[in-house]
Structure 1
Amino acid sequence: MCGAGRLATFLPVAPTAVRIQVLGSLRVWLDGAEVDLGPPGRRAVLGLLVLAGGEATSKQDLVDALWGDRPPRSAVNVLQTHVKHLRRLLEPGRPSRSGSEILPYGGGGYALRWDAVELDLPHVRSLAAEANDAQRDGETARAATLLGEALRWWRGKPLADIPSLATHPKVVALVAERRALLARYGDAMLAIGAADEVLTELVEAAADQPLDEPAQARLIRAYHGAGQRATAFQLYQEVRGRLVEELGVEPGAELLAAHAALLDEGESPPGPRPAARVPRQLPAEPPGFTGRATELSILDELVPRSVGSGGTVALAAVTGPAGAGKTALAVHWAHRVKDRFPDGQFYANLRGHSPGPPATALEVLTRFLAALEVPAERLPADTETASALYRTLMTDRKALVVLDNAVDVDQIRPLLPAGPGCLVLVTARDRMTTLVALHGARRLILGMLDPGEALELLARVLGSGWIRAEREAAAEIAGLCAYLPLALRIAAANLADNPGKSVGDYAVELRKGNLLAALTVPGDEQIAVRTAFDLSYAALPAQTRRVFRLLSLVPGNDIGVEAVEVLTGVERAEGILDALAGAHLVEQHAPGRYHFHDLLRRYAADRLTSRESAAESGSARRRLHEWYLRGVDSAAKIVYPHMFRIPLSVPDGPAPAASKENAAEWLETELCNLVAVAEDAARLGPRPVAWLLADALRGYFWMSLRQVEWRAAARAALSAAEDEDDLRARASALFSLADLSFRQGRYREAVRHYTGALVLARRAGRLEAQAAVLGNLGCVYWQSGRLPAAAARFSRALELSRRAGKPAGEAVALGNLGLVHWEMGDLLAAAEHYVQALRRYRGMGSRYGEAINLANLGQVQHARGRATEAAGLLAKALALHREAGNRAGEAETLGRLASVYCDLGRVTDALGHARDGLRLARETGEPRGEGEALVALASVHQRAGHRQDAVRRYRQALDLLRETGDRYPEVDALIGLATATGDVGRARQALALAGQAGYGALRKRAAAAVESILRA
């Protein structure tokens, strides 16, 4: 089934023989087909001729512009050759000895006739001139619309793909022209109260001109208008600091005026934005926390500064050796002050010293953004974008961020919020010198407890009576544990589990175990910890020790009871895990889920190597891997049964109960562990586990858009498949990467991966895999308006699925063919395909596929004049989408229902559904879905007689859809705007576009719109 995406294309105004784009990369189309201009020199010649504005440019001027002071001897000949090839490309039918109509020679030079081609530059200038007239007439809203339309023709820096012309005076002048255009657009949008809609453009302009006072003042006004006063205040302070430091001047009139407007509403920025859910991610408070009064007092001093109205984020780093209690201090203090941070407490274990790889900044940002209620579909896929979004969302918040177990400053830097109301607490073994020097962090070096605090900790666990009775022995134990909190807790837990043993007896055991250390490196805390581990481990029953050892094989961050039972072969392992938690050898961080301190994981791994054979360890890993594989397979059959997957090749055995009872929730809970298992298998084997897991998760990734985990799993699969040279597995991994690129709107990358997967699937003789790849490749072509190419791939996919006997593949192909026939205008064929697809989806129990095809069938029946039937179909689809949690499908269906309700005379219901659909589409973050929702709302307004609202929504839709390259809804919006405004030019443009793309139904509507407007 096809999904939404982005495709950047150049949008023509009307069909002409030659179209040229210079506002962006240089691109040329001849009769609608893009022309390959050839080498950079030839492109530069054409670019220079376009910039000349229709005037002739002498050969010498062209040579100077192309080669500067050192032209080759053959420069003129090369120039003439370039012009000759350009003439052939632009006028392929011109007789060889006739004069050129497009690139004539005259006046000692060459010219490009602007009147013989369609150019973006004069069109932009025409829109700007029209905006001038509107502004003079006091029509600010119309001026803003025209200026916005002019800016949308800019696809980047002029002639961006010809670096040699970047400093050419006319290119520089065009860059300045765009800046002026953007400034006028920003002012007009602010004047009509549309700050939210122009904020992104003004941020970009201000970043490009850090010392330009008008640009910075305009951005301050935009933040103010968008309700982000705290950000506006902060920006003013930053700009003022730059001006003073770099230019030695104070802010001028415009900046001062923008600042004064902020102050008119009060001296301090407003409070935090309301949030539906406040993140509360702190782990449970460590029991029996003792001592550290000085460190706690220092941390307390940071809080008032962190919640003030200005300044920067407060930052503290707790450093020290392993086992010193850095995490315990951070978590204890965080709980103590959490009420001072009403907008949330964020926590991340950065795994700086765990056996596996450290957590990436992107991985942590993804979790933080999800906690800030950013939908999964809108989570950025790169660190820089994710960090920028995180900083933006945290700007006005008073929040506490605990970054535990960091490896270095580079890991931390993207995770630092920007808001002055935030406080960040970092724990690390590294001294974090850079964090102190560059970011102003307050460092606390955490050493051992002092003797009195160590005794107090022992007393908290054992009871003060024990310590009073054998104070000297207790003091000796504290010294032998190097006053290290982790060692002390383990020693105390060991004593508590042996009430018949005296404190003195235990001190003797500990002393004997640490005798060699005392003779060589006295007081070494690592050896003291290991001795405490040894004694605590030795006190466990044999079966409990074995479970402890095998837990070191777990590749993820945590594990549940059921998985422990599979790994160890022990029934009812919860009692054993409770015993390990009681001995402080594992930690229960959530009901039924456990994890290690990194030192204990390493200790367990050492014990495993010394006690278990490689065969026994391999058998345990295999049991766990197979259990996870069966779990994903079981969940996939419930959540996305229609998705093609490699057949599972593991022995029958138990699968997680939750993967059947609550499949989607189980996948979400175990996702990080599943990806960790795939990566572990890719490194250590067995490698098929990596690609089988990644392939089985592809359907979940498609639905949930967990991009970071998706990429990690797919790359692990590809690495494993290449190591084993398995064609089927390589095809599967490329297919997953292609799907990810498609869902991200990276169409060229998606086509490249799909093509590679298709070649491998053919070589492997896998019909079902070929069908699946062809189907998704067809979706790329469908999305970009290439209907015949899409139909060919869907038909081939249907044929291959039938040959392979795969009804799921047939269902997907039939539904996709229905989409193509719908857009071509063959409504009967579309309906037939949807009905056939529905039968197959219902037969396999896929509610997801059933909902999509019900909604599509409802849309077709509405177009065929069967509004009542359409309403019933769409209502069923809406219920199924809501049941499955498919928010994008729900948004689309709401818009379609709104259109049906309009025809049934239920205008109020129609407006409500259309508005709900737009709100939901914006939350999901899929541009095509938002564009379609805007068109649906505009259509309802138009039929309700709300002309101005309709025009505004149609224009918003066009703005968005032109950027995404989603041609069908774009033409739909263009027709609506033409009929709403009586603009026959737009109607003709829609007619041309619909004809080029083969949109049969839209072509009829556009033709009717042209005729209607002309009659009027």
Structure 2
Amino acid sequence: MLGSLRVWHGGTELDLGPPGRRAVLGLLVLAGGEAMSKQDLVDALWGERPPRSAVNVLQTHVKHLRRLLEPDRPARSGSEILPHVGGGYALRWDAVDVDLPHVRGLVAEANEARRDGETGRAAALFGEALRWWRGKPLADLPLLATHPKVLSLVAERRWLLAGYGDAMLAIGAAREVLTELAEAAADQPLDEPAQARLIRAYHGAGQRATAFRLYQEVRERLVEELGVEPGPELLAAHAALLDEGDPPANPRPAARVPRQLPAGPPGFTGRAVELSILDELVPRAAGSGGTVAIAAVTGTAGAGKTALAVHWAHRMKNRFPDGQFYANLRGHSPAPSATALEVLTRFLSALDVPAERLPADTETASALYRTLMTDRKALILLDNVDTAEQVRPLLPAGPGCLVLVTARDRLTGLVALHGARRLTLDMLDPGEALEVLGRVLGSDRIRAEREAAAEVAGLCAYLPLALRIAAANLADNPGDGIEDYAIELRKGNLLAALTVPGDEQIAVRTAFDLSYAALPAGTRRLFRLLSLVPGNDIGVEAVEILSGTDQASRMLDTLAGAHLVEQHAPDRYRFHDLLRRYAADRLESRESPAERESARRRLHEWYLRAVDHAAKIVYPHMFRIPLSVPDGPVPAAVRENTADWLETELGNLVAVVEDAARNGPRPVAWLLADALRGYFWMSLRQVEWRAAAGAALSAAEEDGDPRARAAARLSLADLSFRQGRYREAVRHYTGALVLARRAGWVETQAAVLGNLGCAYWQSGRLPAAAARFSRALELSRRAGRPAGEAVALGNLGLVQWEMGDLPQAAGHYARALRRYRRIGSRYGEAINLSNLGQVQHARGRATEAAGLLAEALALHRDAGNRAGEAETLGRLASVCCDLGRLTDALDHARDGLRLARETGEPRGEGEALVALAVVHHRAGHRRDAVHRYRQALALLRETGDRYPEVDALIGLATATGDLGQARQALALAERAGYRALRRRASAAVESILRL
């Protein structure tokens, strides 16, 4: 009930059918076992205007629900779960297992612990209860959103969060609960206790200035909207700020400072007035009061808006010590404009928000972004904006921030509603235009033909883009006079004026025409074909494939010299969007549809071959849709440094997926997205993953191909799994499994079952996970897929490990390891070496474990798998502790924690914190150990990773001598079937009792 309504029978999730049927069941569960009359149900479902057939529809819904919930019930017998009671229906709570009473029991136990003074135990129990909540109650049934009992559940969650926040603050864990309290306060802007709790959290976390600012904001809000002054809770929180100095230092590791600005434009010239206006905004941004400073640089295409913004940003970046953020919103790009959520996800990731904590909707993401930026002095450059609506969710709250926007639109809404300072760029002044020409041609040549140079500048409309192209043309022909070039420009402008009257880009197009006409025929063709590239840049090898020539490098140098493309990195080039459009116009007029499609097909096939080849090297164990692509060349970089090639080309690969989904051929979209799934799994590039998987699913559903739909669903499920959204993952996996079965696709059934088992494993449902892993192993053997067998065996090892059957776990890992080595998967080999090392350590074979883990660490480092490296370092730290190598243990634990945080792996970070706590504990640093255990617990409870959470709870109980925590750990281990942890927890309880 605590999220979308979901029901299982015998371990299998049921498809409840249409929303109306789901709502009937939801209402009956909400009744708490009491009967509801048919009239009450009809009123709740249809309100004041029910259809004539409402009662019949209701009875049909109940009939189907009974069949689903009691499939073995004899015909004509009464229902044990949904009986007919007094002219209505009831759902017997004693016949089903409902999550709501379990959570209420945990809350009651937590309140009792708090009354008994066991604050740490209360915090742990509140946290356990909170983890059962996966969203708004009955979130998938909007028609019940205003039902009194649903609203009551919403209030229950608020009380739970308040209790959890108070308990965490009481035990000194303010930092660990800050995000939750900030979200709660944002959801209840006029709730004084919620706001007071957040003020106390900021104070406890050492952010005193933010706490003061929040108090002032809340006070002003109360006065303006309710006409009241702050009440006792807010006043007490404020008094604590006034009466106390800064809280005791408890520094957290220094966060990475985002440095996202692109390279500055070489030879930037002019714009002194505009630069000085921007300079004036910096003192305002650096101040401690007021609102965020916003500057909007607007103007026509080619006016140099981006160049001005980037140049100024580099000049001022030291004034913004908390980071410089950059996003190209693709307002006038052939690719779809960037969404605010896409940009917010990148910004939040740069602010060290773990992947599984990234919000899935724009409103929540924007609120979290504003909260995290409140105390920062940062520069946010939003380039190539289309409309003001794109910008609003990206505005930070901190008055120390400055937002710099570039756009062709005048952004009147941003100026009117948010006080943006608008700078309109039109043309350079004549002197600045001559300076641009002089930087390329030399001042002597300009002085020699000053009048002609001035005429060229005027014919280029004093626009920087046209001026740079004109200067490049003149530089390529030093024997020609500037006067001759002016004559050519004059002719071109006259012709353009006759054919396209009133077009503000006439001068630019004329300069393009002259540059284009001066190119050799082959280079002109290559320039035209570049307009087919869907991404923002392209490498030389890809251009050779697109154009079918091995002279691409020389031709690209020619185009770069003429300023028709820009070389922004070694062997990589990109277009200005005006030039791309110009090239597309020329392509349309010169190449036939068949020639254009042939070039696109060559590029698509090249990318497919390359990614398929990369997959065989980096993640051969992961199932993929078989490709049927003609033989051909594969990029040298794929063979030499696969991971780097994938990273470099990722933007283009995703652009190809999206382009194929929109414009065809659609199979390219799902084939390429599926081939990239393994890379996304390893790198967790979730923005790109979501875009590729979403485009693939759109293309697959358009074509109706069940295999393609299954593969796309599998990718979305994997993304949810890697983000820690296990229930959402299970939903997607179940849909993919249905599609794979419908298509008779055994290999995919095995892959989905394996991943579905992982979702159950992560959420602590070990028997259900083991059943699915065993079935996946059986299907993989039937299909003759050793890679699938390897994955299933390794997963079975994980389950056996957590169930405490260490010999069985070691056997599964060893068999998986042999298969991974047979298929050449160094990634799978490294993971199973690490897992086998962990098991052997637990079996008391520390020396053998150290060797296995060292081998795994080397493989992870060779493959660039930093998340695997972080996990293995944590395990190696624990082994070194047992071997008496405490210095090595501390180094490994710290390195593992740093890597886990850099890679955004919450489970890895949690395990690294546990490892670091163990090292501190063994070294006698009890205070540090307790702090690390608490950090780990807070993180692992958020991610829902139960096994390491129980492990951390046992460690914390042992370090603090807290009998309540030890008993809680024992109960959790027994409930989940963690036999090894149950033995450890039991030993901890006995040890504390002896004390």
Cross-structure match for 2:283: 304
Of the candidates 227, 233, 236, which is equivalent to residue 206 of structure 2? Answer: 227
Letter in 1 for 2:554: G
Q: In the alignment, does 2:530 pair up with 1:547?
A: no
Structure 2 distance, partners of 1:989, 1:920, is 32
Cross-structure match for 1:993: 975
Of the candidates 556, 570, 573, which is equivalent to residue 594 of structure 1? Answer: 573
The Cα offsets for residues 810-830 of structure 1, whole Å up to 9 and x where unpaired, read as 221221222233344443333
Cross-structure match for 2:269: 289
Structure 2 distance, partners of 1:112, 1:746, is 30
Of the candidates 748, 760, 764, which is equivalent to residue 781 of structure 1? Answer: 760
- Would you say the 8 A contact 1:778–1:791 is kept in 2? yes
Cross-structure match for 1:446: 425
- Would you say the 8 A contact 1:871–1:900 is kept in 2? yes
Cross-structure match for 1:836: 815
The Cα offsets for residues 54-85 of structure 1, whole Å up to 9 and x where unpaired, read as xxx9999999998999999999xx99x99xx9
**Measured at CA, do residues 954 and 737 of structure 1 come closer, stay the same or move farther in structure 2, by a change above 3 Å?**
same
SS where residue 505 of structure 2 aligns?
A: helix
CA shift, 1:583, in A, is 1.7
CA shift, 1:949, in A, is 8.0
Q: In the alignment, does 2:846 pair up with 1:864?
A: no
- Would you say the 8 A contact 1:195–1:223 is kept in 2? yes
Unaligned runs of 5+ in 1: 1-20, 52-56
Letter in 2 for 1:279: R
Structure 1 distance, partners of 2:597, 2:29, is 66
Structure 1 distance, partners of 2:346, 2:134, is 33
Cross-structure match for 1:4: none
Of the candidates 644, 649, 674, which is equivalent to residue 628 of structure 2? Answer: 649
**Measured at CA, do residues 714 and 329 of structure 1 come closer, stay the same or move farther in structure 2, by a change above 3 Å?**
same
CA shift, 1:454, in A, is 3.4
Letter in 2 for 1:284: G
CA shift, 1:499, in A, is 2.7
Letter in 2 for 1:993: R
Of the candidates 334, 358, 377, which is equivalent to residue 355 of structure 1? Answer: 334
| Larger Cα-atom Rg | 1
CA shift, 1:531, in A, is 1.5
**Measured at CA, do residues 33 and 975 of structure 1 come closer, stay the same or move farther in structure 2, by a change above 3 Å?**
farther
**Measured at CA, do residues 1013 and 469 of structure 1 come closer, stay the same or move farther in structure 2, by a change above 3 Å?**
closer
- Would you say the 8 A contact 1:230–1:395 is kept in 2? no
Unaligned runs of 5+ in 2: none
Q: In the alignment, does 2:657 pair up with 1:674?
A: no
Q: In the alignment, does 2:169 pair up with 1:193?
A: no
Cross-structure match for 1:714: 693
Q: In the alignment, does 2:107 pair up with 1:128?
A: no
CA shift, 1:595, in A, is 0.9
Structure 2 distance, partners of 1:835, 1:363, is 42
Structure 2 distance, partners of 1:641, 1:343, is 41
Aligned-pair Cα RMSD in Å: 4.9
Of the candidates 388, 405, 408, which is equivalent to residue 387 of structure 2? Answer: 408
Cross-structure match for 1:697: 676
Q: In the alignment, does 2:297 pair up with 1:318?
A: yes
**Measured at CA, do residues 28 and 974 of structure 1 come closer, stay the same or move farther in structure 2, by a change above 3 Å?**
farther
The Cα offsets for residues 267-321 of structure 1, whole Å up to 9 and x where unpaired, read as 9xx999955555152333242523x333222222112211222222211111122
**Structure 1 stretch displaced more, 679-688 or 959-968:** 959-968
CA shift, 1:930, in A, is 5.0
CA shift, 1:330, in A, is 2.1
Letter in 2 for 1:283: A
**Residue correspondence of structure 1 range 321-720 to structure 2 within 5 A:** 321-369=300-348, 371-372=350-351, 382-518=361-497, 524-720=503-699
**Structure 1 stretch displaced more, 955-964 or 331-340:** 955-964
The Cα offsets for residues 649-673 of structure 1, whole Å up to 9 and x where unpaired, read as 2222221111111110110111000
**Measured at CA, do residues 541 and 170 of structure 1 come closer, stay the same or move farther in structure 2, by a change above 3 Å?**
closer
SS where residue 626 of structure 1 aligns?
A: helix
**Measured at CA, do residues 251 and 547 of structure 1 come closer, stay the same or move farther in structure 2, by a change above 3 Å?**
same
CA shift, 1:939, in A, is 6.5
**Measured at CA, do residues 30 and 327 of structure 1 come closer, stay the same or move farther in structure 2, by a change above 3 Å?**
closer
Structure 2 distance, partners of 1:673, 1:777, is 30
SS where residue 312 of structure 1 aligns?
A: coil
**Measured at CA, do residues 265 and 556 of structure 1 come closer, stay the same or move farther in structure 2, by a change above 3 Å?**
farther
**Residue correspondence of structure 1 range 153-164 to structure 2 within 5 A:** none
Of the candidates 194, 206, 209, which is equivalent to residue 188 of structure 2? Answer: 209
Of the candidates 251, 256, 259, which is equivalent to residue 279 of structure 1? Answer: 259
The Cα offsets for residues 95-138 of structure 1, whole Å up to 9 and x where unpaired, read as x999x9x99x99xxx99999x9976546634532442342xxxx
Number of equivalent positions: 967
**Measured at CA, do residues 767 and 519 of structure 1 come closer, stay the same or move farther in structure 2, by a change above 3 Å?**
closer
- Would you say the 8 A contact 1:399–1:423 is kept in 2? yes
CA shift, 1:794, in A, is 2.8
- Would you say the 8 A contact 1:378–1:924 is kept in 2? no
**Residue correspondence of structure 1 range 93-108 to structure 2 within 5 A:** none
CA shift, 1:699, in A, is 0.6
Q: TM-score, normalised by structure 2?
A: 0.83
**Measured at CA, do residues 506 and 720 of structure 1 come closer, stay the same or move farther in structure 2, by a change above 3 Å?**
same
Structure 2 distance, partners of 1:280, 1:400, is 10
Structure 1 distance, partners of 2:699, 2:151, is 50
**Measured at CA, do residues 401 and 905 of structure 1 come closer, stay the same or move farther in structure 2, by a change above 3 Å?**
closer
SS where residue 819 of structure 1 aligns?
A: helix
Structure 2 distance, partners of 1:347, 1:32, is 47
CA shift, 1:716, in A, is 2.7
Letter in 1 for 2:586: R
Of the candidates 711, 721, 724, which is equivalent to residue 732 of structure 1? Answer: 711
Task: Report % sequence identity.
Answer: 77
CA shift, 1:147, in A, is 6.2
**Measured at CA, do residues 473 and 159 of structure 1 come closer, stay the same or move farther in structure 2, by a change above 3 Å?**
closer
The Cα offsets for residues 612-655 of structure 1, whole Å up to 9 and x where unpaired, read as 23333233222222222222122222221222223332222221
CA shift, 1:372, in A, is 4.8
Letter in 1 for 2:186: A
- Would you say the 8 A contact 2:954–2:969 is kept in 1? yes
Structure 1 distance, partners of 2:542, 2:36, is 78
The Cα offsets for residues 236-290 of structure 1, whole Å up to 9 and x where unpaired, read as 33223313322345556654664566567999xx999955555152333242523
**Measured at CA, do residues 336 and 273 of structure 1 come closer, stay the same or move farther in structure 2, by a change above 3 Å?**
farther
Structure 2 distance, partners of 1:722, 1:810, is 30
SS where residue 190 of structure 2 aligns?
A: coil
**Measured at CA, do residues 847 and 171 of structure 1 come closer, stay the same or move farther in structure 2, by a change above 3 Å?**
closer
**Residue correspondence of structure 1 range 5-24 to structure 2 within 5 A:** none
SS where residue 299 of structure 1 aligns?
A: helix
**Residue correspondence of structure 1 range 866-905 to structure 2 within 5 A:** 866-901=845-880, 903-904=882-883
Q: In the alignment, does 2:770 pair up with 1:770?
A: no
Structure 1 distance, partners of 2:45, 2:297, is 59
The structure, 1 or 2, with the larger RCO (C-alpha pairs under 8 Å, 6+ apart) is: 1
Letter in 2 for 1:989: A
CA shift, 1:923, in A, is 5.4
Cross-structure match for 1:11: none
Cross-structure match for 1:10: none
**Measured at CA, do residues 718 and 229 of structure 1 come closer, stay the same or move farther in structure 2, by a change above 3 Å?**
same
Structure 1 distance, partners of 2:533, 2:968, is 62
Structure 1 distance, partners of 2:673, 2:144, is 46
**Structure 1 stretch displaced more, 825-834 or 584-593:** 825-834
Structure 2 distance, partners of 1:755, 1:60, is 33
